Structure 1
Amino acid sequence: MTSHTQRSPATRIGLISDTHNLVRPEALQYLAGCDAIIHAGDICNQAVLDALAQIAPVTAVRGNNDIDEPVASLPTRVKLTVQQVMILVVHDIADLGDDPRSAGIDVVVTGHSHKPAISERDGVLFVNPGSAGPRRFKLPISAGMLIVEGAHATAAFDSLLT
């Protein structure tokens, strides 16, 4: 008799940040087919979230440039659980606060710097998808993808423009 381990189907979460009023067609195409989208702040206009919501349910936090309603009313941090992975979303990593591992956080999604980055510290995956909005300096225009399978999460980011 053969035993088969039942794997959880993967959940694809699109990661986007620092759109600053700009919804690029390349970003919408990149996020197409996601199960959910996380926007890590600096949205600036509700129309950005409305466009993303046409693709998948959106979780968003307020960034330092989200000063007009209704985006000004967004929370500054959100925790969500996807399968068995606890995700914390905060715009600026400087506002992270307590040690995420001691709070049971598995993944931290941030924005603010416009620099895409993925790292792991003390068992916590840190992901910044970079900026999908107007180009800043020579930084890439990018977005990311978080794949959750059971209690495991992996992340990647991709340039949206060549």
Structure 2
Amino acid sequence: MIAIFADTHSGDGHELTGEALEAARTADTVIHAGDFTSVAALEAFRAECSRLFAVHGNADGAAVRERLPTARVVEAGGARFAVTHRREGGATGLAMFGRSRDADVVVSGHTHRPTVVDAGDAVLINPGSHAQPRGNRPGFAVLERDGDGLVGELRQPDGTVLETIDVRA
């Protein structure tokens, strides 16, 4: 399983609860699209995950930025993920970012709004924020291998399904 998070915005911990915490603990790969806000939050996430691949976001201080790249590519579940916190140009900018990295999935954060967009070449996933939804529904995403692709869901930490995801790599 692949678990996807963003926008933790914590000064002292991972702020994971319910199914979000269970997903972080049991996933083979965890992707985080930035804005941990503190080293303590980053390290708390690392302590829960067997494999964490993260980028920094605009709210991350220098200590977090020193530890994490602005963007990265992750190979997991037979798919290629391009990860960034945010990209100018909205969905078009994110799709171009993914195309330039030959990605099947583009993971981003920043808006705190859980969304899935089929951009043709890639699926754009913003898991929202599990901890600081800022007027949106709290969210995270899970994906699992299914034949020649991945299937999954955007979920709230209590397990409520917000949207289904289908990625054909």
What is the distance in 2 between the residues matched to 1:112 and 1:40?
A: 8
- The residue type equivalent to 1:51 in the other structure is A
State the TM-score, normalized to the length of structure 2.
0.77
- 1:56 and 2:56 are equivalent in the alignment: no
Name the CA distance, whole Å, in 2 between partners of 1:75 and 1:131. 20
Alignment partner, residue 151 of structure 2: 154
Alignment root-mean-square deviation, CA? 2.2
**Matched residue, 1:17:** 6
Which of 41, 47, 58 pairs up with 2:40?
Answer: 47
% of aligned pairs identical?
30
> Would the alpha carbon gap of residues 42 and 127 (structure 1) be closer, same or farther in structure 2, given more than 3 Å must change?
same
More helix by share: 2
2:114 paired residue among 113, 116, 129? 116
Label 1:151 to 1:141 Cα distance change in 2 as closer, same or farther (>3 A). Answer: same
Consecutive unaligned residues in structure 2, runs of 5 or more: 161-169
Of 88-97 and 138-147, more deviation after overlay is shown by 88-97
Q: Secondary structure at the match of 1:51?
A: helix
Is 1:141 aligned to 2:138, yes or no? yes
Q: Equivalents in 1 of 2:100, 2:62: separation in Å?
A: 34
Greater Cα radius of gyration, structure 1 or 2: 1
Offset at 1:149? 4.5
Point out which structure has higher relative CO (alpha carbons under 8 A, 6+ apart): 1
* Distance 1:140-1:17 versus aligned 2 partners, 3 A rule: same
Cα deviation, 1:47-77, whole Å, max 9, x if unaligned, reads: 22322223321001010001230x1121110
Q: Would you say the 8 A contact 1:101–1:122 is kept in 2?
A: no
Is contact 1:13-1:38 (8 Å) kept?
Answer: yes
